[in-house]
Amino acid sequence: MKRIAVAAFLGLAACAHPAVQDDPPARPLVLWKGYSDHPPGYLGEHPDPAIVAFLPPPPAEGSLRARDDAAIYRATRKLEGTPRWKQAADDSEIFAPDFAFKAFACALGAEIAPEQAPTLTLMLGRVPADIDGVTERVKKTTMRKRPVVVDPRPICLPAADWLLSSTSYPSGHAATGWALGLILSELAPDRAGPILTRAAGIGDSRVICGVHYQSDVEIGRQVGAAVVAVLRARPDFEADLDAARAELAAARRTAPKPSCPTE
């Protein structure tokens, strides 16, 4: 009887404490080439325009702000050929799957590869699609010409037809850079200062490049913040954010340190 009782107890204990389940399989790595095939966003092809209903119109032609924008554009042409000019060109590749890891390597203090963080890679690829969906709707209503169209001078990128024909307000790259910075600063709060500084620099690159006015960039950052706020209400985004947090923490422990300018 004693032996039966022990067996029964062990059986109950086994039921009360089931065997530990294996960890779920890691998310497969999804990569893309660039803008033409980047992954779809969280908000669908047609994000709610109310997300950016608060935006003001671009500065009126001839206004003090418009004149300041033009003066900044002219002044920043002096940076042609400098390292900052080259960085501005590099910052244009915002739809590349490894863009955020390269752009924020010094800010994060780690050279992370997409293979180390597949959820984070995909998430940082989906958010630009949401930004693009929002900014393109605004651009179609504002139709502000880019500075290089109004006043042709050197820019850091080839003057492609699509660039010259697209509108300037707001800056989608500035919005995306700021959104990525907000996300990464939440995942790595100990590096929030450098991350947000670098995120702001991505927007500044559009002014230095000569393809956006300063006011386009400032409003773009507001768009990026608005989109991230909307995404935070989505369970699928929050689930990816939790998974990405664990991936980034693990990657930062093993990734090599980048060679960066002294802070």
Q: How confident is the model at residue 17 (pLDDT cuts 50, 70, 90)?
A: very low
The active-site residue out of 69, 91, 216, 240 is 216
Whether residue 98 lies in the annotated active site = no
Decide if pLDDT at 234 tops 80: yes
The active-site residue out of 38, 126, 144, 173 is 173
Predicted local confidence at residue 5, as pLDDT: 45
Cα distances (angstroms) measured from residue 172 to each of 147, 212, 232, 253: 15, 10, 20, 32
Q: How confident is the model at residue 49 (pLDDT cuts 50, 70, 90)?
A: confident
List of residues 6+ apart from 206 with CB closer than 8 A: 88, 91, 171, 173, 174, 212, 216, 217, 220
Predicted local confidence at residue 262, as pLDDT: 66
Predicted local confidence at residue 45, as pLDDT: 86
Decide if pLDDT at 2 tops 60: no
Quickly list DSSP for 101-150. HHHTHHHHTS---GGG-HHHHHHHHHHHHHHHHHHHHHHHHH-PPPHHHH
d(CA 224, CA 172): 8
The active-site residue out of 212, 221, 240, 252 is 212
Residue 236, SS3? helix
d(CA 125, CA 119): 10
Name the maximum alpha-carbon separation found in the chain. Answer: 98
Q: How confident is the model at residue 238 (pLDDT cuts 50, 70, 90)?
A: very high
194 or 31, which is more confident: 194
Domain ranges of the chain: 27-254
d(CA 223, CA 51): 8
Closest to 130 in 3D by CA, of 247, 51, 242, 240: 51
Predicted local confidence at residue 20, as pLDDT: 43
Q: Residue 47 gets which letter from DSSP?
A: -
Whether residue 17 lies in the annotated active site = no
Average pLDDT, the chain: 90
The active-site residue out of 38, 146, 198, 206 is 206
Domain at 27-254, CATH class:
mainly alpha
Q: Residue 88 gets which letter from DSSP?
A: H
Percent of the chain past pLDDT 70, that is, above it, reads 89
Q: How confident is the model at residue 228 (pLDDT cuts 50, 70, 90)?
A: very high
